[in-house]
Structure 1
Amino acid sequence: MHAYHAGMEEIYHVTDPRTLKAVSHPLRVRMLGLLRAEGPATASELGRLVGESSGATSYHLRELAKYGFIEDDPGPRVGRERRWRAVHRYTSWSVAELGETPEGRAAVRAMRGRQLEGLVRDFEVWREGVEEAGALWDEALGMSDSVVELSAEGVRRLGERLWEVLGEVIAEDVEKKARGETKQVGVYLAFLPYSGAEGEGR
C-alpha cells in the first residue's frame, strides 16, 4: 500500500515544545514512521511490527492524534478496530525557535536522540542483510563522510540544495517505481561539528 494519500500534507512545522516532546517518545517515532512509509494501519497491526501490545500502541496512537500527527483513515475498516493514517510526510522544527526555552531545548535533544536511533537501526538492518540485497543494491547502498570548511549559511544552502536534488531523483524514478524496480531507502542528512578538529590542529 502506498503511504501517500490525496489529503496528505508535506510538512508539519512544529513550534510548540510540548508537541515536539510528544512525538519524541521512541515508540511514537517508530509508529509514525511506519504510518508514513507503509500506509494506514491499526493498533494491532503496528503492535505486531514493533513488538508491543495493542493496548500500548493504542495509547500512543491517541497521543499522536491529539498533537495532530495522525488521524482516522476514512477508508473501510477491517472489523471494529480504528485504522490510522499519517497527516504529514515530514516533521520539521527550528532549533533557534525552540531553543529559547529549557523545555524547547530538551525536546530538540530528545528528537535528535530519536533520529540517531533510527539511523543506527537502519544501519544494523543493512549490515546484517547486505548480502540479500543483490549486487546492484549492494553497490548503491552505503555511507560516506567528508570534512569541509563551511560557514553556517553555507551549511544551510548545502542542505537546501541536497534536498532539491533528492526531490528531482525521486521524480525521475517514478517509472521505475511503477515497474517495481525501487525500494524504500532511508536518507539521513547530517551536518555535525568535526570532533577531530582540535586534535589535528585545525
Structure 2
Amino acid sequence: MQETEARPIRILGISGSPRNMATDFLVREVLKIAEEKYNAETDYFSAKGKKLNFCIHCDFCIRTREGCIHKDDISAELYDKMIWADAWIIGTPVYQGTLSAQTKTIMDRCRAVVAKNPKVFLNKVGMGIADGGDRIGGQEPAIQTILNFYVINEIIPVGGGSFGANLGGTFWSKDKGAEGVSEDSEGMRSLRRTLKKLVQTTQLVKRASSGTKSEMESEL
C-alpha cells in the first residue's frame, strides 16, 4: 500500500474572523466532525489576534522566489500548514455582502507561496463556510469568492450539492455568535454535506495520485 493511501487525510481549517465567535465555532466544529467521523488529521489557524499584513504587490516574491517580504503570522504560521494539508476549509464572516478583510488578506498572500512553487497547491481540495447576521446577507457571494480563489490556485473546489448545500456551508447567526449558528439546522446540514464531499474528493485524489506514482515507478 502506498503511503498516501495509508495515512489519514490532512485537513486545515482557517477562520478568517477577527473574533472567536460564529466563524471560529464553525471551523472548529467541522474539524471535530472530520476527526471523529472520517479519522482525519486536522490543524487550525485563526485570524483573531494575528498580525496579517496586506499584499502590497511589491513583487518581491516574484523576483526572488523566496516567499513573502512580510514577516508576520501568515508567513510564520500559516504557509507551512497550507502545504501540509491535503484539503482546506476556509471560513469567513460576511462583511458588506462578502468576505472579511482578514480572509481576503490570507488568500491574497498565497501569491508568495505559489510564486516560489507554482504547483505547490495543485490538486489539494477546498470548501468554504460563510456566516452572517442576516438570513440573506451575502453568504453565497462570500463562498463563491473562496471557490474562485481555489480555482485560480489549482485547488479543487467542492460544494455540498443541490437541495440544501449548493456552494458550501452557509449559516444565519442572527447576530448571536456560536449560539446562533449552532441553532441553524439547515446550516449544519449544509456543513456536513459539504464536508462529506470534501473528504470523498480528497480520498479520490489521493488514490489517483498514488496510482499514477505506482505506474510511473513500474515503468522505470
TM range (shorter): 0.3 to 0.5
Larger Rg belongs to: 1
Question: Whose helix proportion is higher, 1 or 2?
Answer: 1
Using structure 2 for the length normalisation, give the TM-score. Answer: 0.33
Using structure 1 for the length normalisation, give the TM-score. Answer: 0.35
